[in-house]
Structure 1
Amino acid sequence: MLNGERLVNRPFRWAMVGGGRKSNVGYKHRTGALRDNANFQLVAGAFDIDPTQGKDFGVKIGVSSDRCYDNYQEMFAKEQDREDGVEVVTIATPNGTHYEITKAALKAGLHVICEKPLFFSSAEGEEIKDLAEKQNKIVGVTYGYSGNQLLLQMRAMIEKGQIGDIRVVDLQYTHGFSATDEPEKTSDAQKWRVDPKVAGPSFVIGDLSTHTYYMSQMIMPHMKIAKLLCDRQSFVGSRYPLEDNAHILMRYENGAVGTMWVSSINAGCTDGHRIRIVGSKASLEWWDDKPNELRYEVQGEPVRILYRGNDYLDDLAKEDERLGALHTEGLSDFWANIYHRFALAIEAKNSGDLKTLEALIYPGIQAGIDGIRWVENCVRSANANSTWIEYDHSGQKLHV
């Protein structure tokens, strides 16, 4: 159980690029990183594309004015000259900037934590992976929902054979907040998400489903997709060629089948983020709207609800427990869990502790690359008139 004690040698000096006053995600990052005050301390930032607004915001969240920089280039250069310069940077900027900022950060000797989807292409991902290894740094990806402990309970139960052989994987991440074009008119953070030059080759597949895809892979690390079919639509026409809805069919190498429904136009839906794994003996279902509950349905027996924080859960699901079963936890706690694991990964990388690093379950650079390849495969199928394609795990088949 986590209680805020220091589990790393000392807090890492941390900075942000982006994540300012108008950011949709900046506060989530700060909530996660600073929940365990012993892991990270926010000491610098280039918080906004408008330097004046960025400095005003940074000072108001407690960063010294002389360490609120006009841009990331200035910050990396000046922080390198300080004895107390930053060691880790979070990149919370639009998708199209991730690659160049991550590359610059690694070259400046910084560990990187980056928003998803990581980059536009898996080739960029492989290049950054090589650079990170050369620089002896980690690159973490903020798949925030993956910090939910009950997902690790699902992983443990599947590994122990408690649901039998996996037959069906049913994934969904939907909401209705973009059912019209109004968000693009009122929110700068939404406007860039539907611009291919900034967002990349997809909207909801990259913005939403990469979360759920990673979570499914974390739960079922040995399940690999063999074939995929993606049918995507732009129901709000101004978003074309990017999609606001997609249905994806999957066939796994072990014979299981899967579906993913991802949508921002599921009108009336506030939170449609669910994962259901159907086995030959039983099924498991997790729903983000009830994040402290896991449904365990054994064929022929009453439904069981497993609650977060209880002693009957697997040890794997109790490692990041914070409040105890009596009290509910939510998304901010799950972000804190992945930032906690980022801190452990950075500490292990710095000390050369490969055993600890390899044992950690956290979304690192390979998870980011796998997310890019997921998007690439979906787009490749959709652009080929929504046909079945062999799933490319290598990143080589970029075109049909």
Structure 2
Amino acid sequence: MEEEILTEETRREADAAPALISIHPLQKSIALALGSEVRIFDLEKENAVTLTDEACSPSHSDAIRAICFGANGSLFASAGDDKLVKVWRTDTWHCIKTVHSDKRVSAVAISLDGLFVTFADKFGIVWIERLEEDGQGQISVGTKAVPLLGHYCSIITSLKFSPDGRFIATADRDFKIRITVFPKCLPKGAHEIQSFCLGHTDFVSCLAFIHLPDFRQSLLLSGSGDATVRLWDHVSGCLLDTCDIGKQAGLLKSNEIIKDFPAVTDINAFPDGSLVAVVIQGFHGVVILKCDVSSRSIFVAKIVSMEENFTPTSLVLSSSANMLWMVMGATNVSKSGSSELARLLVISNVDKYVSNEQGDCPVILEDKNIPGGEKLLLKLQGSVHLAKQDAAFTAAAAAVKVAMQNLLAKKQYSVEKRDLRKRNRNDRKFKK
């Protein structure tokens, strides 16, 4: 029996990295990651930003897999397949910290107080590094982080701090979400597990916390490869509600038996949960959910269909400006330069999707009306006019779908193939 060998085309698709987008909490700037490049645009000054790094090159050397702003917006982190985590000050956009990982990085987060950066690698370990500046505002470069917790041998797909900073939530491809008490004595690791949120039937792809000031406790939202979004009481690990996004968006029929569900690939929410935006694999648009915190339920408020060639790979909500930013794009999907292009769409007055108030309706902004205008599009998209790039974006969407399935979906093997894989493991240790 011959072992299955991947073709070069399959390998290329399996390595495809989706374009990612993140926005400053006060919408001062917006960041987009595509391939090994981080693109920043200052929304206040309306100009492109150049990243600086005195120790090494200002960009990553391989695909970026995670980006995020800190809670107060003073720090920004990026990480990816080059096994580097970079932390930037957003006032100067200078790299103040470069952390080396032993393995590729799959998720990154900055603690609410801005004192720590945490990141997860492909082996399922979460690492932490303290961010301590010297008198000149500089942080040591080239240091190594210490392990915090682990989902050993399971890829961690998402990493989030709870709004009160007490917990750190981690999700993996083995269908589980772990809620861990963030320790006071960090060098000793995080050994106190608060709960496990179990219920998804496929990989968990994304997490988001919501919180209302009137409620002492926050709640957790999760998206999965099983085409559902679930609402959790993360402190107890109790499942509160499930929204079947695949069927609600019309991608699944109620009586249809599907082997590969359309995965929920990204989720973002207003802090109070009044609006939740969801990206679904293969869906040309976005699903808007409403979370009723008082009744602890979640439901579809609006399905927003878009042009046929736009399939978002990442999105972010700006509560301060009441806008929804979406990006489509991927790298390593073609040999032409077009694979480095991203495409942006912005919806304004997005809260009107779940509100009965009279006033301006939600609208997909024309390019000229997007904050920053053509300057922003030129910086973040790579081009202002993308009318001739439809084929490239269609290929990008298809490649991202294959890449996610290859990376996160649990593979099923026959007994014979399992035995063959065990015999050929490259980590086997032989006695001499």
Compute the TM-score of the two structures, normalised by the length of structure 1.
0.29
Compute the TM-score of the two structures, normalised by the length of structure 2.
0.27
Higher relative contact order, chain-length normalized (CA < 8 Å, sep 6+): 1
The structure with the greater share of residues assigned to strand is 2
